[in-house]
């Protein structure tokens, strides 16, 4: 090789090494601001357009003949509309689609103005696959399926989530997606409060909606407000007086729930019936005594075989330094009286599941605590998001720390099956409840033979 060629080869090698070293250099915060990645602002990420997003199916009324849907757009949309037809294998269902005009609620958020639209499809045929879309006549969502419920007590499953609340995009999305993959035929998804952390931040609602994505448009949601759906201040930073937190402005426009709760608690407290199950949705933030009286009435006139209550703050807490005696004293006697089968809760950021429980009262003559012998309710606290608290000493049948979970609950005639699964889909807790005529329910434990997931002692505190 000539000297000149050697020099050229040496120069090229040096340039190559320098390039590799440059590419492999450690990333420091003092680097070139032109080339460093920049966070995309929330105003851009969650900006509404005329194209519908945040599409959520719910029910306002009868689950067999109606279906409600809500969606969001920017403020240019003046003609919100939804179309619906019975689903067919080919595309020509579009020629048979019926139009429903939407109603609109403007919502001013910390990221700017938006519109929330709502349609309640009525006059539907039970147990029928429909296809619908929402839009403004020009900008449309995808045509999307849902199936109406049966008016009878047919077997079905649903998914229950404890608090999602934090890092919804990073850490909660995988849980709702795993749950859907595990139970794609679930008839609804039940969220037991604290869907978000700071409810006046539009970006958090954006993350919650993106985590569920198109599943929220196919499978109806049932949700109750937790303490984190109550705002401490308005979007301009004006604080509310202590004890006067307000239900987040996003709540009512985002969801179309039944208006059958006590006055002033519309869409926060309500009930609905699904194929032999009455679901009573309570609000642990407000008016506890009024809800006890309302629930007593709702459960007195209940033709369903099964009754499930959902509430945010639990009757039996699962984490340290948390107890809700006011709620327990007001509501548990009503659960006992009406033999509520199962109570699905959140708030404590750990997992705890009881056996059959009844309200315990001190016998005034003996001073001994006695449990209501006619009661037999199973209480669950669960968590689906990443925020984790320390367990307490309550004698739960099964409990967990540092574990994100979802639950699939199936009802078939006289049997209710409950499976709690971890974020990775492994069975973590399970039981079956059997109805027995005129007696307390039978509880059959099916807890898997795996260790309880407990926080290492070094991380407690």
**Nearest distance from residue 404's CB to Fe ion, in Å?**
16
Quick one: 136 or 194, whose CB is closer to Fe ion?
Answer: 194
Options 226, 253, 261, 262; binder of Fe ion; rule CB under 5 A? 226
Task: Count the site residues for Fe ion by CB under 5 A.
Answer: 4
Quick one: 133 or 391, whose CB is closer to Fe ion?
Answer: 391
Quick one: 194 or 336, whose CB is closer to Fe ion?
Answer: 194
Please give the residue whose beta carbon sits closest to Fe ion in the complex: 347
**Nearest distance from residue 145's CB to Fe ion, in Å?**
33
Quick one: 215 or 327, whose CB is closer to Fe ion?
Answer: 327
Applying CB under 5 A, the span of 50-58, 124-132, 221-229, 322-330 interacting with Fe ion comes to 221-229
- The C-alpha R_g of the chain, in whole angstroms, comes to 26
Site map (CB under 5 A) of Fe ion, residues 304-343, x = contact = ----------------------------------------
Quick one: 214 or 240, whose CB is closer to Fe ion?
Answer: 240
Q: How far apart are CA 15 and CA 35, in angstroms?
A: 21
Quick one: 227 or 260, whose CB is closer to Fe ion?
Answer: 227
Q: What DSSP line would sit under 298-341, residue for residue?
A: HHHS---SEEEEE-SS-SS--BTT---HHHHHHHHHHHHHTT--
Quick one: 191 or 347, whose CB is closer to Fe ion?
Answer: 347
Chain positions 192 to 211 lying near Fe ion, rule: CB under 5 A, are: 194
Give yes or no for residue 227 binding Fe ion (CB under 5 A). yes
What would the 3-class secondary structure string for 8-45 be?
HHHHHHHHHHHHHHHHCCCCCCCCCCCCCCCCCCHHHH
Options 54, 171, 278, 347; binder of Fe ion; rule CB under 5 A? 347
**Nearest distance from residue 225's CB to Fe ion, in Å?**
10
Q: Answer for the pair 118, 107: CB distance below 8 angstroms, yes or no.
A: no
Which is nearest to 401 in space by CA: 340, 332, 457, 328? 457
Taking CA atoms, 410 is separated from 156, 280, 313, in Å, by 6, 17, 24
Kindly give, in sequence order, each residue whose CB lies less than 8 Å from that of residue 456, ignoring residues fewer than 6 positions away. Answer: none
Q: How far apart are CA 293 and CA 262, in angstroms?
A: 9
**Nearest distance from residue 339's CB to Fe ion, in Å?**
27
**Nearest distance from residue 324's CB to Fe ion, in Å?**
11
Structure tokens belonging to residue 459: 């991380």
Taking CA atoms, 420 is separated from 297, 308, 351, 405, in Å, by 31, 16, 10, 7
Phi/psi for 136 (5° steps) reads -125, 15
**Nearest distance from residue 21's CB to Fe ion, in Å?**
51
Chain positions 167 to 196 lying near Fe ion, rule: CB under 5 A, are: 194
Quick one: 226 or 262, whose CB is closer to Fe ion?
Answer: 226
**Nearest distance from residue 313's CB to Fe ion, in Å?**
7
Phi/psi for 255 (5° steps) reads -125, 140
Give contact residues for Fe ion (rule: CB under 5 A). Answer: 194, 226-227, 347
């Amino acid at each position: 090789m000539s000297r000149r060629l050697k020099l050229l080869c040496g120069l090229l090698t040096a340039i190559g090494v320098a390039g590799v070293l440059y590419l492999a250099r450690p990333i420091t915060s003092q680097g070139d601001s032109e080339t460093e990645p920049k966070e995309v602002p929330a105003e851009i990420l969650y900006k509404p357009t005329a194209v519908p997003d945040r599409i959520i199916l719910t029910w306002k009324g009868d689950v067999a003949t109606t279906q409600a849907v809500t969606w969001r757009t920017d403020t240019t949309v003046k003609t919100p509309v939804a179309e619906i037809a019975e689903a067919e294998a080919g595309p020509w269902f579009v020629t048979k689609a019926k139009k429903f005009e939407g109603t609109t609620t403007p919502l001013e958020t910390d990221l700017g103005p938006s519109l929330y639209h709502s349609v309640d499809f009525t006059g539907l045929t039970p147990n029928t696959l429909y296809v619908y879309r929402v839009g403004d006549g020009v900008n449309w969502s995808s045509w999307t399926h849902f199936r109406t419920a049966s008016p009878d007590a047919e077997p079905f499953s649903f998914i229950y989530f404890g608090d999602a609340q934090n890092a919804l995009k990073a850490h909660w999305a995988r849980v709702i997606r795993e749950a859907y993959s595990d139970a794609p035929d679930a008839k609804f998804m039940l969220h037991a409060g604290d869907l978000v952390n700071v409810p006046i931040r539009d970006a958090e609602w954006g993350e919650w909606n993106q985590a569920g994505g198109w599943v929220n448009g196919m499978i109806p949601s049932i949700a109750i407000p937790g303490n984190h759906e109550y705002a401490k201040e308005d979007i301009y930073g004006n604080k509310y007086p202590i004890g006067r937190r307000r239900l987040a402005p996003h709540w009512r426009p985002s969801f179309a729930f039944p208006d059958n709760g006590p006055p002033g608690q519309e869409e926060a407290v309500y009930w609905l019936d699904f194929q032999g199950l009455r679901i009573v949705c309570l609000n642990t933030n407000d008016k506890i005594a009024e809800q006890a009286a309302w629930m007593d009435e709702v459960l007195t006139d209940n033709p369903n075989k099964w009754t499930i209550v959902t509430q945010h703050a639990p009757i039996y807490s699962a984490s340290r330094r948390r107890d809700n005696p006011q709620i327990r004293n007001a509501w548990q006697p009503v659960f006992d009286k009406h033999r509520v089968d199962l109570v699905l809760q959140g708030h404590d950021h750990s997992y705890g599941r009881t056996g059959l429980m009844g309200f315990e009262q001190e016998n005034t003559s003996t001073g001994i605590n006695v449990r209501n012998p006619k009661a037999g309710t199973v209480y669950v606290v669960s968590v689906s998001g990443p925020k984790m608290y320390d367990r307490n000493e309550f004698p739960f049948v099964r409990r967990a720390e540092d574990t994100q979970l979802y639950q699939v609950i199936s009802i078939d005639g006289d049997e209710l099956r409950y499976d709690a699964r971890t974020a990775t889909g492994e069975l973590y807790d399970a039981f079956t409840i059997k109805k027995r005529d005129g007696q307390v329910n039978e509880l059959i434990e099916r807890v898997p033979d795996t260790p309880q997931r407990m926080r290492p002692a070094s991380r407690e505190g």
